[in-house]
Structure 1
């Protein structure tokens, strides 16, 4: 994938990234609110050695004090010092609790010791730091006492100060960390989900196939509709599709328009394509060969419930109860003719494989320049492949974001099984961020037969 592909993926999944980023920020806020505030402070103890005041004595004494500061820092956390400090506090402080809340650290290269304390109460931590520092000044000199007095002296040079703000939690840090973690997780989730997805959204998701002649992306209208699109971009896409079929393939008088699955609106694409052909003065007829008698036609039956019984159409001609001239009607308000499916029964779809279907198409080719067959879903109904074979070419409609690669490849396999060599693809309802990011023109493969331009 190129950088543009990654940017397109991120634009497509921006809402996931935004949602996880917000969740990360909320998680950081929750950590801040649920964390008990922790205050810390420290007192400073100075270690010195008494003796002669000659320069040599001062130098050796200072070196001795610096070395002993490390030992005295460790001494501050012993039970002897902590018991003395707990006794001076006078509030029943436990020695183990006091050990857990205080620490002593020597400053490197100096004779200073920092006695720190932390806890949830700022006044308590100040008292504990001062108590341990004072106890250390009392107990530590006894270690080096050679007589009644000790040459070592420890002095509290800076008492603990009451902290104004807690050391933890840090709301700003938690918020930034939460946002960063959420953002990273969001980007990772979108990229991984796209890599694992098998759905076709744009031309980049189509598996290479030598049988594809032309390829067109159809943008989604502002409002999804099964009728003629009302946006200029979509109208231009159908005009481009018309040009691709005329000059980029060997489409002649008849073309079968079929969706890969029921998610594709092959009926709508067939009618809009017919309208595009009518714009250049061609006589076009749309033939509804979706002869399903099961639930696949329930939506159309529901729309016609108020209009009475269906008008005679393809099923009636194939059944021998109507003639071709009796079933061709002009679409109101358009320059396109249509042949409805008619009165469908359980055997209507099977009659498409009989000579009667060939005769029907031959009869329609005489008065019309183009015959557009609106077929049922390719991978669901075998008669779609039959219609494509009778037509000699097929336009496969892929529903962006709904059709899977495996379904698309199965559809191509079905067309290849009946010997259809001219297959074009239209990816319908492509979102704006997915347009123009894939392969242009025809898919890699052998050169298709020379195009035939209608007179």
Structure 2
């Protein structure tokens, strides 16, 4: 199965409710139509064309069938009969034979049969009248010629030309070619009752087809991203992996394997060593925080010195302990601010005290100084950056990193994703691509355990006597920002 078919199937699967709704409506319509359609009766009368070979008669009968089905034919024939106005008519040829079946549909069997017989007579008379008129004209012309020829020639013998004309007149009067005659004036009546089972079957098939087409149409018109193919086609951003969420129905092993694949993709890039990878999103930070933490954990388990940096300035993560925000004010403090993770060779730099306005500290020079210092403590540095929509911090962090990854939630608007990608491009960030995550990873973050507690941002060990840095220590009025940091 090629990628196009897979994508179409995925589009239909994601919009299964559209298919279900259209199918249910079609079933309801089919059931209603079957229950409200009255029983009808079809009377039949058969006509036969004679006078030629069967093959020629069959071809001629097709022409007569076309004449019968002309819109003006039935009203004209009905005018000379007493057929009720609610009776409808049709005609059929019997295979490749010179037989024509006239069908009349009515509400009772008697009316159906009598109407079919009457219409058969009216149609055959109408067709035969034309034939008879032509024959009569031919006979009249021959009789005129016959009256001008003597019966006997001068020697008293019978005139041969006179005898020939007389034979032609007799043959013309006896000619029945192309004449429609009744084969079975009353060929029987068939009862047509609505079949609920058949109607529901047709409705189900039709509804399913229409539902699939509707789902594909909505997918084409939708401005939201629902798959990796959507992300590539609607935004131009290259997808790296798609990570399932807790409600996606996929096993936890699928998420683990795709995170490992993402780690391998990063390792295949020609990036400087040590490497700094920044993760950001168009809106919100929970997706990028979780993925950064998981990537740092995987790198540490492979024996690499990994550093996880929470640089998103999330108020919910500011626990009064010093971290990235304090490092911006003084990068030399980083060795003291780094914490041991729960996995050997993993270091964690917390958010630090939340700052309502981090703009004066988050300069390019300070960010570069912090990242350079962090490189000396790890082989790979994973930075959970703020969302692009939160301000300029994310663009500066992603531009200062060796590579950036955009985290995109399923269901995001393509325009928002494109705007985030363009913002990173304007900042000259080296964007590797995007990670597509299940929206439930964001919607359920309040009920989930924070990854920072899982891998190293929990309680300090009892022997750690470092004093925390309070928010007041880095309030704006106490900052000392060198002139060159504003360049």
Shift of the 110–331 alpha-carbon distance from structure 1 to 2, 3 Å rule, reads closer
- Alignment partner of 1:277 out of 293, 296, 299: 299
1:339 aligns with 2:328: no
Does the residue aligned with 2:388 lie in a helix, a strand or coil?
Answer: coil
Aligned to 1:259: 281
* Aligned counterparts of 1:404 and 1:429: Cα–Cα separation in 2: 14
Aligned to 1:418: 427
Structure with more relative contact order (C-alpha pairs < 8 Å, separation 6 or more): 1
Q: Please provide the CA RMSD for this pair.
A: 4.8
Aligned to 1:348: 358
1:280-306 Cα shifts (integer Å, max 9, x gaps) = 2122221111125xxxx5xx36xx8xx
* Aligned counterparts of 2:229 and 2:388: Cα–Cα separation in 1: 20
Shift of 1:239: 2.1
* Aligned counterparts of 2:98 and 2:395: Cα–Cα separation in 1: 90
Q: How many residues align?
A: 353
Shift of the 251–209 alpha-carbon distance from structure 1 to 2, 3 Å rule, reads farther
- Alignment partner of 1:202 out of 216, 219, 228: 228
Residue 43 of structure 1 contacts residue 130 of structure 1 at CA under 8 Å; is this kept in 2? no
Aligned to 2:404: 394
Does the residue aligned with 1:206 lie in a helix, a strand or coil?
Answer: helix
Residue correspondence of structure 1 range 180-195 to structure 2 within 5 A? 180-195=205-220
- Alignment partner of 1:239 out of 237, 256, 260: 260
* Aligned counterparts of 1:408 and 1:402: Cα–Cα separation in 2: 11
Please say which structure displays the higher CA radius of gyration: 2
Shift of the 114–261 alpha-carbon distance from structure 1 to 2, 3 Å rule, reads closer
Residue 224 of structure 2 contacts residue 414 of structure 2 at CA under 8 Å; is this kept in 1? yes
Shift of the 112–277 alpha-carbon distance from structure 1 to 2, 3 Å rule, reads closer
Residue correspondence of structure 1 range 254-403 to structure 2 within 5 A? 254-262=276-284, 265-291=287-313, 297=315, 300=316, 309-319=319-329, 323-332=333-342, 336-353=346-363, 355-399=365-409, 401-403=410-412
* Aligned counterparts of 1:244 and 1:381: Cα–Cα separation in 2: 29
1:345-371 Cα shifts (integer Å, max 9, x gaps) = 222254221644343333322222222
Shift of 1:250: 1.4
Shift of the 208–252 alpha-carbon distance from structure 1 to 2, 3 Å rule, reads farther
* Aligned counterparts of 1:271 and 1:386: Cα–Cα separation in 2: 21
Shift of 1:263: 8.0
- Alignment partner of 2:86 out of 89, 100, 119: 100
Aligned to 2:8: 9
Shift of 1:277: 1.0
Shift of 1:17: 3.1
Shift of 1:408: 3.4
Shift of 1:155: 11
* Aligned counterparts of 2:230 and 2:368: Cα–Cα separation in 1: 37
Residue 112 of structure 2 contacts residue 189 of structure 2 at CA under 8 Å; is this kept in 1? no
- Alignment partner of 2:240 out of 213, 216, 223: 216
* Aligned counterparts of 2:384 and 2:215: Cα–Cα separation in 1: 36
Shift of 1:24: 2.1
* Aligned counterparts of 2:403 and 2:103: Cα–Cα separation in 1: 88
Aligned to 2:203: 178
* Aligned counterparts of 1:357 and 1:113: Cα–Cα separation in 2: 91
Shift of the 396–117 alpha-carbon distance from structure 1 to 2, 3 Å rule, reads closer
Does the residue aligned with 1:216 lie in a helix, a strand or coil?
Answer: strand
- Alignment partner of 2:110 out of 108, 121, 126: 126
Aligned to 2:41: 39
State TM-score, norm by structure 1: 0.61
Shift of the 76–368 alpha-carbon distance from structure 1 to 2, 3 Å rule, reads closer
State TM-score, norm by structure 2: 0.58
Does the residue aligned with 2:361 lie in a helix, a strand or coil?
Answer: helix
Aligned to 1:87: none
Shift of the 115–174 alpha-carbon distance from structure 1 to 2, 3 Å rule, reads closer
Shift of 1:310: 3.8
